[in-house]
């Protein structure tokens, strides 16, 4: 991940170019061609990712009270094929594809959020966006995306506090009761950083036992001086130089 300036970005009707990498729609699939380098070490990261949506959606949802931040679940359920030469890596599986856009930094309106996505038995996908704003208000989006292209809202269950991450940030999951109490099991944590975590959870939703991908963002940590100092080493800014 590299932050790039306006002169390194170009968009046409079918392709979005970011420096030496690009995204392009081809034959109903999104092809992501990556040609980057690892920060500091300089190792090449080269390969392609192909995303095959099961259904496309045009829904756009406001995440904050002023509508300055928006979320678009483009393909809540999809297949993915990953083929990299550097490093040598090939795999395929289930995928999720969405967009987030904002007219200001995320640190301005938000304090934290939890997000989760789960596949249901009927092939639909359930997504919960549990957003807490700095003004004290919450915005909770709970939507079920069906294979026929329809979208249904549902009442989200109660929030369950999970164990803190390795970096000691709180994370929550909304889960229905089973046996008289909410049931959530942490299966794995894939990414654990000072301000962000991505995990796999087992919980109960819409009457089913589900496996969910889950993320937690702690904006207060993101704003801290030490994290702001560390970020350029993980995600450098490179407005002009191409590799």
Report the domain count for the chain. 1
| Predicted pLDDT of residue 243 | 37
Angstrom CA distances, 14 to 19, 20, 27, 97, 192, stand at 16, 16, 11, 17, 34
Domain that includes residue 116, residue range: 13-234
Q: Is residue 206 part of a domain?
A: yes
Alpha helix segments (H runs only) across the chain: 219-223, 225-234
Average pLDDT, the chain: 93
**For residue 210, what are the contacts with CB-CB under 8 A and spacing of at least 6?**
118, 119, 120, 126, 202, 203, 204
- Would residue 211 count as lying in a domain? yes
- The arithmetic mean of pLDDT across residues 24-34, rounded, is 94
Alpha carbons 192 and 198: distance in angstroms, whole number: 7
Q: Which of 216, 213, 212 is nearest to 114 (CA)?
A: 216
When computed from its CA atoms, the radius of gyration of the chain, rounded to whole angstroms, is: 19
Neighbours of 105 (CB within 10 A): 13
| Digit-coded pLDDT (tens) for 203-218 | 999 999 999 999 999 9
pLDDT of 183 = 81
Give every CB contact of residue 32 below 8 A, 6+ residues apart in sequence: 21, 22, 23, 48, 49, 50, 51
pLDDT, position 222? 94
For 45-103, what is each residue's pLDDT tens digit?
A: 999 999 999 999 999 999 999 999 999 999 999 999 999 999 999 999 999 999 999 99
pLDDT for res 242: 39
- Residue 242 lies inside a defined structural domain of this protein: no
pLDDT of res. 41:
83
Q: Does 240 score more than 80 pLDDT? A: no
At residue 5, φ and ψ (nearest 5 deg) are: -80, 175
pLDDT for 115-140, tens place per residue? 999 999 999 999 999 999 999 999 99
pLDDT at position 239, please?
A: 55
Classify residue 6: in a domain, yes or no: no
């Amino acid at each position: 991940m590299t932050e790039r300036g306006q002169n390194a970005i170009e968009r046409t009707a079918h392709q979005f170019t970011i420096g030496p990498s690009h995204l392009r729609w081809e034959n109903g699939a999104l092809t992501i061609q990556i040609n980057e380098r690892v920060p500091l070490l300089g190792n090449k990261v080269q390969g392609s990712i192909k995303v095959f949506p099961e259904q496309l959606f045009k829904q756009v949802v406001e995440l904050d009270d002023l509508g300055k931040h928006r979320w678009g679940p483009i393909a809540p359920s999809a297949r993915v094929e990953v083929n990299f030469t550097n490093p040598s890596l090939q795999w395929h599986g289930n995928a999720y594809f969405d967009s987030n856009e904002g007219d200001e930094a995320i640190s301005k309106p938000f304090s934290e959020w939890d997000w989760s996505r789960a596949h249901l038995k009927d092939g639909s996908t359930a997504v919960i966006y549990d957003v807490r704003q700095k003004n004290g208000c919450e915005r909770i989006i709970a939507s079920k995306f069906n294979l026929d292209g329809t979208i249904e809202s549902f009442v989200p269950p109660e929030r369950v506090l999970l164990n803190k991450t390795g970096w000691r940030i709180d994370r929550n999951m909304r889960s229905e009761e089973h046996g008289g109490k909410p049931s959530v099991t942490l299966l794995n944590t894939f990414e654990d950083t000072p301000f962000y975590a991505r995990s796999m959870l087992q919980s109960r939703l819409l009457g089913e036992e589900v496996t969910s991908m889950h993320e937690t963002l702690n904006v207060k940590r993101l704003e801290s001086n030490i994290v702001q100092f560390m970020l350029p080493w993980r995600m450098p800014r490179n407005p002009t130089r191409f590799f």
